[in-house]
Structure 1
Amino acid sequence: MHPIVIIGSGMAGYTVAREFRKLNTEQELVMICADDAVNYAKPTLSNALVGNKAPEQIALGDAEKMSAQLNMRIEKNTWVKSIDAENHLLSLEKDGVESTLTYAKLVLAIGANPIRLAISGDASDDIHVVNNLSDYTAFRKQIDLNHDKRVVILGAGLIGCEFANDLQNTGHKVTVIDLATQPLCRLLPAHVASAFKQGLEDTGVHFVLGTTVEKISKADNHSYVVTLANGQSFIADAVLSAIGLQPNTALAKATNIATARGVLTNSSLETNQADIFAVGDCAEVNGTLLPFVMPIMQQARALAKTLNGVQTTVHYPAMPVAVKTPAAPLTVLAVPNDLEVTWQTEELDDGMIAKAFDSSETLRGFVLLGATAAKQRLVLTKLVPDLIPASV
C-alpha cells in the first residue's frame, strides 16, 4: 500500500498527522517539507518577547523527534516540483537530487505567504516578515542587539497589533502604520476599535492611520528612514510588515486543482482532484478562508477520519478568536462577510461588550473588550449559529 503524504510541516500538517495517528497507527505516513520541519506553535511568535522566550525555546520538537513521536517519515529540505494527480505521483528534489514518490492520498498543508507591499527605497529588502520560526529568529536577532529599538510595524491588523503590544511591553518604541483609519478594521466596529486603540496607546504604541509607506531608506548607524505618503517620516531600527497572508496556490494551480483565494475544497476538504485534500491557511473550504487555530483543529479531526476510511465533513461552530494584546484584552467573533448587522454595546468599567445582530435579531458576532467582558465568551458563543454546519 502506498503512503498517505502530507506536504507541509506547519501546524496544519502536524495536526493532521497527530489526529490520524490517534485512529490508525499502522498506515504509512510521509511528510514532505521545504524547511527543517521543526514543530512549533505559530501563534506564540507574536507574544514570545513578553513571555521571555528565545526563538530556540519556541520549538516543540525537531524533525527527528516528530518522526519518532508520530511514526512518520519526514523528508525535510525537500521540494515538491510537481504533482501527477492522475498517477498519484510526486516529483521531488532534495540537494539537487530528483526522485519520485507514489501516494495513496495527498494532503496539501502548504500554508500562506505574507503579502508584500511594493515599497521603494534602498532598504525595502530589509523589511522583516514573520511567518515562521526562521523569520522570527531573524527579526529577533536584529531587535535583540538593542532593547531600546525603534520598530515600525506596517499593518494594524491582528498580527500587527499583537506584535506592537509585545514589543512595546518589552522596552521597544513602536509605531504602527496602516492605510485603514482604525486598527483591526476588518474585525471591529469603529467605536470598539477606538477604545482598543486607546488601550494600546496608553502603553506607548503610536498609531499613524489613513496613510501608507512610500519609501524606506538606509540611514546612519544601521537605522532606516521610513517615509509615508502623507509626508511624515520616522527613524526606525527595524521594520516589520504584518499586512496579511495570501494562501499558497502555485502548486495547486500547476496540478489543475481549482483555486480562488485559496485551494478550493468541499466540506470534506477534498479538492477537485481525486485523493487530494487541502487544510490550514491554504484551504478555502466552501468559499471560506479562516487562518486561525480552531478551524485548523476542526479540519484536522474531520480529515483524519476521512483518510482512515470514514468520510467526514468539517464542522465550523462559532469560533471566537482571542487577540493577544494584554494592554486591551480582546475576544472577537467576526461577523460573516457581506452580512448586514446592527451593533448593540454595553459599556463596562474596564471595557465593553458589543453584539452584532442580523435583521432577524439573531446574534451573528461579538466583540469583548476587557477582562470583565471576556467572561461572557462561552455564553455568547452558544447563541451564534454555526459558520459551516456539517453537511455532505
Structure 2
Amino acid sequence: MPQQSVVIVGSGLAGYAVARELRRLNTDIQVTLLSADHGGFYSKPMLSNALATGKTPDSILNAEAGKMADQLNIVIRPYTRVDAIDAVEERVLLENGERLGYGRLVLALGADPVRLAIPGEGADEIVSVNDLDDYRHFRERIEGKRHIAILGAGLIGCEFANDLAAKGYQVSVFDLSPQPLGRLLPEQAGQFLQEKLALAGVNFLLGKTVDKIGKTDGGYRLFYQDEQFVEADVVLSAIGLRPRIGLAEAAGISVKRGIQVDRYLQSSIQNIHALGDCAEVDGKVLPFIMPITHAGRALAATLAGTPTRLHYPAMPVLVKTPGCPTVVSPPDPHMEGEWQIETSQDGVKALFQDAAGNLLGFALLGTATSERQTLTPRLPPILA
C-alpha cells in the first residue's frame, strides 16, 4: 500500500468527518475505512430523540456503506475488526488474519457504555444504546411495553427520558446525583430541569442507586433504598461512556482517560492519530458533535499535507429535551468563579463568572435559551 495511504478505524461521526474533509482537500490519497459494523453513515445523536421526531431505525440511516464509498471515492470495509496494531511495520492485523499496511493510521474508535456491576438475575438484560444496531434492538424491546426504567440522569439519560415520555411511556430515572445533569448544571438549574421534565411525565429517583434487579413475569424489579422497588418492562442504562483505548494501549500508545494526542491529533507513536470519543486532546475528552467536527477538519488538513493545530472555540451543548429546552457551556473545572443565577417561572439564566466579571460558562434553560447567541461570543475558547 502506498506510503501516503490513510487507514481509518471506525465509521462513526469522527471517522467519516476525517474521510469527508480529506477527500474534499485531496482526491488522490488512498483512503480505507474499516468498520466493525455495517459501516453506514448516520447521526448517532439522533438516537436519543428519534421516537418523538418520528424516526425509525431505517430512516435514521443516511446512506449505506456502498453509497458512502461511491460518494467519497474511498474503500469501506464493513464488518471488519482490527485485532492489533503493528506500529513498527505500520500495519493493522485484522480479525481474519490479514495484515493491512498504512501510511497514516486514524483511530476513530468511539467509546463503550459504562456498565454498573448490579446484582440480580435481571441485570444481564439491561439494554444500552451506543449505535444504530443497539437502537434497533431497543425499539424492538419497548414495542408494546409501558414502563421504562433508565439508569443515569446525565445528558443521554435525560434525552431518552424526555423522548420516551413524549410518546406516552411511563419513565423512571435513577441517579446517585441529587439532580439531573449533575455534572453540567448548577443546583437551581438542575431543579428547574427536573420540575419541567416531571411535568412532561418523567419520574426521577435521585440520590439513589439500584441495589439489585430481579425478574418478574415479563419485566423487572429494581430495588433501591430500604428494599423499595420499581417495576419496569425494560431497563435502559445511560450511565456514561468510556473511551475505547484497549487497541491503542496494547500497541504501546500512551493512554489515560482516552488515547492521548497533541493539538495535531498525533498520538505518542508517529503516524498514528486519534479523534472523537476515544481521544484525549490536551487532557480533554469531549464526546460531542462540534469538537468532532473541528477535529475532523484539522486532522484532514494535516493528512493532506498542511499540519493544522486543533482549535476549539466555545461550543455550547444543546440538550435535546423539548420538555425543558437546555443549552449549557460548562466552565473549565480549573477556572475560579461563581454562578450568578436568575430564575423565573419560564426559565433559568446561570452565568459562571470570575472576579472581574468575565464570562467563563453558562447554563440556559427554558426561555433563557434565546440568549445563547448573545452570550457565546463572550466565552473563552476551550483550546485557544
1:358-369 to structure 2, matched below 5 A, reads 358-369=354-365
5+ unaligned residues in a row in structure 1: which ranges? none
> Contact 1:83–1:90 at 8 Å: present in 2 too?
yes
Partner of 1:187: 184
Partner of 1:315: 311
Partner of 2:202: 205
1:285-364 to structure 2, matched below 5 A, reads 285-364=281-360
Partner of 2:376: 381
1:129 maps to a residue whose letter is: S
Three-state SS of the structure 2 residue aligned to 1:44 is helix
> Contact 1:281–1:291 at 8 Å: present in 2 too?
yes
Identity %: 47
Aligned equivalents of 1:341, 1:49: Cα separation in 2: 39
Q: Residue by residue, what CA displacement relative to the aligned partner does 1:103-134 show, whole Å, maximum 9, x if unpaired?
A: 00000000000000001111111100001001
1:92-241 to structure 2, matched below 5 A, reads 92-93=94-95, 97-146=96-145, 149-220=146-217, 222-241=218-237
Aligned equivalents of 2:54, 2:295: Cα separation in 1: 32
- TM-score of the aligned structures, taking structure 2 as reference length: 0.98
1:247 to 2:227 alignment? no
Q: CA deviation at 1:230?
A: 4.1
Q: CA deviation at 1:145?
A: 2.8
1:284 to 2:280 alignment? yes
Aligned equivalents of 2:125, 2:59: Cα separation in 1: 25
Q: Residue by residue, what CA displacement relative to the aligned partner does 1:54-75 show, whole Å, maximum 9, x if unpaired?
A: 1111101111111111111111
Partner of 1:5: 7
Q: CA deviation at 1:348?
A: 4.1
Partner of 1:14: 16
Aligned equivalents of 1:331, 1:171: Cα separation in 2: 25
1:366 maps to a residue whose letter is: F
Aligned equivalents of 1:308, 1:338: Cα separation in 2: 35
> Contact 1:38–1:62 at 8 Å: present in 2 too?
yes
2:163 maps to a residue whose letter is: D
Q: CA deviation at 1:8?
A: 0.3
**CA root-mean-square deviation:** 1.0
Three-state SS of the structure 2 residue aligned to 1:299 is helix
Three-state SS of the structure 1 residue aligned to 2:54 is coil
Partner of 2:47: 45
Q: CA deviation at 1:30?
A: 0.1
Aligned equivalents of 2:242, 2:292: Cα separation in 1: 16
Q: CA deviation at 1:98?
A: 1.4
Q: Residue by residue, what CA displacement relative to the aligned partner does 1:79-120 show, whole Å, maximum 9, x if unpaired?
A: 111111122111112xxx311111000000000000000011
Q: CA deviation at 1:340?
A: 2.8
Q: Report how many residues are paired.
A: 382
Partner of 1:80: 82
Partner of 2:271: 275
Q: CA deviation at 1:349?
A: 4.9
Aligned equivalents of 1:294, 1:104: Cα separation in 2: 27
Aligned equivalents of 1:360, 1:374: Cα separation in 2: 24
Three-state SS of the structure 2 residue aligned to 1:374 is helix
Three-state SS of the structure 2 residue aligned to 1:9 is coil
Alpha carbons of structure 1 residues 385 and 151: separation in structure 2 relative to 1, 3 Å: same
Three-state SS of the structure 1 residue aligned to 2:158 is helix
2:202 maps to a residue whose letter is: V
5+ unaligned residues in a row in structure 2: which ranges? none
> Contact 1:211–1:230 at 8 Å: present in 2 too?
no
- TM-score of the aligned structures, taking structure 1 as reference length: 0.96
Aligned equivalents of 1:160, 1:89: Cα separation in 2: 39
Aligned equivalents of 2:261, 2:227: Cα separation in 1: 45
Three-state SS of the structure 1 residue aligned to 2:211 is strand
2:382 maps to a residue whose letter is: L
1:66 maps to a residue whose letter is: M
Partner of 1:36: 38
Aligned equivalents of 2:292, 2:142: Cα separation in 1: 31
Alpha carbons of structure 1 residues 352 and 102: separation in structure 2 relative to 1, 3 Å: same
Three-state SS of the structure 2 residue aligned to 1:60 is strand
> Contact 1:28–1:72 at 8 Å: present in 2 too?
yes
1:356 maps to a residue whose letter is: F
Q: Residue by residue, what CA displacement relative to the aligned partner does 1:134-184 show, whole Å, maximum 9, x if unpaired?
A: 1111110011133xx100000000000000000000010000000111110
Aligned equivalents of 1:41, 1:230: Cα separation in 2: 41
Aligned equivalents of 1:53, 1:302: Cα separation in 2: 32
Partner of 1:258: 254
